[in-house]
Structure formats: structure tokens, C-alpha cells
Amino acid sequence: MHPQTFLDLPLSRDPDAAPLQRQLHARLKTSILGGALPAGSSLPGSRALAATLGIARNTVSAVYEQLAVEGYVIARRQGTQVAPRLHGDQKPATAPAPMLARRVAQFARPLLMHKPAALRPGEPALPQFPLAAWRRAMDVGYQGNTAALGYGDPAGEPALRAAIARYLAVARGVRCSAEQIIITEGAQEALGLCVLLLTNPGDAAWVEDPGYRGIKAAMQAGDLRMLPMRVDGHGLAATLDDWSRDMPRLVYTTPAHQYPLGPVLPVARRLQLIEAARAHGAWLIEDDYDSEFRHAGEPIAAMQGLAGDGPVLYVGTFSKTMFPALRLGFLVLPAALLAAVQAPLAAMLRGGHRHEQLAMAHFIDSGQYARHLGRMRRLYRARQQALREALASHFDVPHTVDGGHCGMHLTVRLPPAFPDQMIAAAAHAYGMAVSPLSGFSLAPTEEDNGLVIGYGNTAPELYGSLLGRLAKLARQAKPG
Ligand SMILES: Cc1ncc(COP(=O)(O)O)c(C=O)c1O
């Protein structure tokens, strides 16, 4: 038995259509998989089907042979039959609800980074990026270089690692050799590697609270027990008591510019952290994400430089200084870890995006990176000032401003009567991607109510009207 109706349908003779043999093969395969031709049913004889469809018998025979080779049908003496136990002949089961692993099912909310929006924290001035110069650097990276089409050093291109080591020594006071540098897919991969290399599931880890969401995602994925540590006007405020209470394996901190509140971690706290980590066998992650853009006073040197061969893993990124889609970051490992991590890193990393890495090395070595940073520093300094002025003149709800001496965002605190989540949600509808401050806390208090406002990628001419609108939305969100 075979359902005459659909096998009878003429094949397409349109000159653009697939060859007849391929059409017939696709039709039979779909019918078998879909259950229209159930397991064990007989296909029509090749002569009969060829006559019905007006095609050569050889064509039908070739299709039957192909289906037999693929296991859809079995050629028997009495004719060709659909093979038994294909899934199409079983009762369709209701698909179980997809179950995600617990560690990722808890991820808070989608970040929707890809939608263009004003005032987004952390986004650099994309229209001002020197695209033509970068294209030339990419040309240098590619030029005749077919060797770099192959797998590279898992730690990244030696030329880029050397360029970064030189740059970090001068600009950030980081002490390392090129061998200690691992090129990563942005800071995010570097943070994930720290978790993967140095912790076991269930280990305790400290995060700044409020703090960067990216590290929380990495720690959650590693099944760590995250402990929120308060941030005061001087950054991470851990005491020696905290160290004895629940010993962390990993401590995440942003010493040069606490994210998102902005303070600089003073040297006494840095030294205390390094000493305590040494004493307790813990590791410190120093995330130095936007310290190139210091707007007041001298640059703040990295904590890594204070530690000698201490327990500091330094994380950097080109997402802010170049552009986020470049997805280039780096991890500086303590020299003492190098031998131990070599095998796992070689197993986990493949060494790709080699031409981009070579282009980046050229961009740094030719001085273009430093020039670009200088231009951007001036631009962000002016934008930061303009945003402060617009806040004073157009954001007429009670607020205080935190940070702002570095980077590309300001944090505005609001009284609890102005709920930040509601204001941010309403602002999104007006194309503003301001972030609610409470969203950066694992245990938000009344103080963690406010808005993180980015000025990197929004032109200053817009600040007045955007902040005027934001103030209106804040008043509307206030109950009563
Ligand atoms: C604190 C912090 N670290 C790191 C990053 C950079 O992440 P990535 O290099 O993965 O783009 C950001 C970006 O917003 C950040 O705010």
C-alpha cells in the first residue's frame, strides 16, 4: 500500500527546478520521515512510478538505490519497502520542556547589548573610531600571510603578547613578560578562564557589591558560591575579619575604577588584599577595564605591579579602547602559575583570529594606539563634563553623582522613592540604555538605587533633552 495521492503529483519541469531525480528523492525522504510512508510499507514498483510521473525508469531505480544506501528503504525480492523503526513510524512524543543547567538557568536578565541606544554604559565612541587606519593595520596583518590561516599559539600571537607587555609596563605599571600574557576573547573569556583554572565547584568567591555582572555570570557558570562584598567610597571594603569568616578562593576587584561606583582602591587596601590572599592561598582578579581614560590627575597604576610575583591575575580588554566587537582581551598570569596552566590552556584554547591579533600588534607598535587613546581621552573628558552640566541643569530630581574621574560613565544615586528599575525600563522605551544601579547588586540596599549613565557613545548635544526626559520618567515612576 502506498498513498497514491502525493506520489502521483507531477514533478516540476521548471528550468530553475532541481533535477527530477533530486526532486523524487526529496519527496520520498520527506514522506518517510514525516510518516506518510510508514515503516514496512511498500513503495510502488519502479516501472509503475516512472510511468505515472512520466520519467525514465532508471531515474526511479537510482532514487530507490540511493534511499537504500541511506537506510530509508530496504530492497527485497518482493519490492522496495520502507525500513522499520525510523522515528517517523513511532507515535510522536511530546517533547519534554527544555531543562537548562542550574548554573545558567539562574542568569538574571538578557542584556540586549546589540540594540542601538543612547547613554549605554561601557560603549565607546564608535563614530570616532579611526576605521581607515584600522583597515590599513588589518591589511598589514593579512599581507601575504597564509601561514596565519593555521592554528596559532593557544596563548595568542607572540607579536601581540610582546606589544601588550611593553604597553602595560609603561602605561599601567604591570610587571610581566610576554609569556605571561594569554590573549582572550575580550575580558569575559579571561574572567571565565580564571574561574576554570583556579576554582572548583562550590568554592567561595568574593565579588564587589555593587559590581560587574560579567564576573557573576562567569562565577555562576563555574558553580561558585558568590559572596557579595560591600563597596564604600574607597572601593572594595573587605576587612581581615572577612578573610577569616568565609575564606574565598577567588576575589574579583576593579581597583583603578570600581565598576560601577567609580572609586580608586587606595594602596593600603591593595597591599592588605595582596597580603591576605598570599596568606590564605587565594587569587585576586584585577579587572582593569577602562583605566586608560583617567580624567583627573595622574593615571592610577595597576595593583599587579605592587604584587611582584603575587597572587594577582590582571585582566585587560580592547573593548573600550578600540571597539567591543573586536573581542580582544588578555589575561596576565602570575609567573608562578605558568607551568601548571600550560597543559590545560593548550587543551582549551586553539589560537585563532590571528590576523586581527597581528593587526592589533601593528596598531600598538606603530604608535597609532597611543594616538587614538589620546584623542579618546580628550573626547571622554569633555563628554563627562558636558554630562555633569546637563545633570545639573536638566535632571531636576534629587540626586548625587558618584565617580566620573575615569572611564565613560557616571553613576547617579536617587532617593528610594524613585525606583531605578522602573525608570530604566521606561527609559528603554525612549531609546535610552541607562542601567539601574540595583541591578549590579546581589543584595541591594536602599543606597543601591540609581542609574548608571554612559556618555562614551552619545553626542553631548543630546544630553540636555535626554536627561530632561529621564527626569520626567523618574517623577512618573515615583509613587503618589
Ligand atoms: C567591569 C568591566 N569589565 C570588563 C568589561 C569588558 O568586557 P569585554 O572585554 O568582554 O567586552 C566591561 C565592559 O563593559 C566592564 O564594565
The answer on pLDDT for 111 being more than 70 is no
317 lines ligand 1 (CB under 6 A): yes
The answer on pLDDT for 20 being more than 90 is yes
Task: Tell me what the pLDDT averaged over the chain comes to.
Answer: 92
The answer on pLDDT for 116 being more than 80 is no
212 lines ligand 1 (CB under 6 A): yes
pLDDT tens figures, 321-338? 999 999 999 999 999 999
329 lines ligand 1 (CB under 6 A): yes
Mutate to test the pocket of ligand 1, among 114, 185, 212, 216 (most ligand atoms within 8 A of CB): 212
Cα(289) to centroid(ligand 1), Å: 6
254 lines ligand 1 (CB under 6 A): yes
**For the CA of 287, the nearest atom of ligand 1:** 3
Distance CA(445)–CA(209), nearest Å, equals: 10
Cα(212) to centroid(ligand 1), Å: 8
Name the DSSP letter for residue 266. Answer: P
Distance CA(314)–CA(191), nearest Å, equals: 10
* Strand ordering across the sheet containing 400-402: 400-402, 409-413, 450-454, 435-436
Farthest-apart Cα atoms in the chain, separation: 91
319 lines ligand 1 (CB under 6 A): yes
Distance CA(119)–CA(78), nearest Å, equals: 74
Quote the pTM value. 0.86
Residue nearest to atom 7 of ligand 1 (CA): 187
The answer on pLDDT for 89 being more than 60 is no
**For the CA of 211, the nearest atom of ligand 1:** 1
The answer on pLDDT for 438 being more than 80 is yes
The answer on pLDDT for 3 being more than 70 is no
* DSSP 3-state percent helix, strand, coil across the chain (nearest 5): 45, 15, 40
> How confident is the model at residue 299, as a pLDDT?
84
441 lines ligand 1 (CB under 6 A): no
The answer on pLDDT for 86 being more than 70 is no
SS3 218: helix
- How many angstroms from the chain centroid is the CA of residue 92? 38
Average pLDDT over residues 295-303: 89
435 lines ligand 1 (CB under 6 A): no
> How confident is the model at residue 113, as a pLDDT?
63
pLDDT tens figures, 126-180? 999 999 999 999 999 998 889 999 999 999 999 999 999 999 999 999 999 999 9
Confidence of residue 1 (pLDDT cuts 50, 70, 90): very low
At residue 187's C-alpha, the angle toward residues 306 and 146, to 5°, is 115
Residue nearest to atom 15 of ligand 1 (CA): 289
Question: By C-alpha distance, which of 149, 194, 157 is closest to 178?
Answer: 157
Cα(290) to centroid(ligand 1), Å: 8
> Checking phi first, is residue 173 left (phi over 0); if not, alpha (psi -120 to 50) or beta?
left
Mutate to test the pocket of ligand 1, among 285, 319, 457 (most ligand atoms within 8 A of CB): 319
pLDDT tens figures, 34-81? 888 999 999 999 999 999 999 999 999 999 999 998 899 999 888 999
Residue % of the chain over a pLDDT of 90: 82
**Strands 409-413 and 450-454, bridge-based pairing:** antiparallel
290 lines ligand 1 (CB under 6 A): no
> How confident is the model at residue 447, as a pLDDT?
93
188 lines ligand 1 (CB under 6 A): yes
252 lines ligand 1 (CB under 6 A): no
**91-95, 125-129, 205-209, 243-247: the lowest-pLDDT one:** 91-95
330 lines ligand 1 (CB under 6 A): no
- The kind and range of the H/E element at 198 are helix 186-198
The answer on pLDDT for 90 being more than 80 is no
pLDDT tens figures, 74-84? 998 889 999 98
Distance CA(55)–CA(49), nearest Å, equals: 8
**For the CA of 121, the nearest atom of ligand 1:** 14
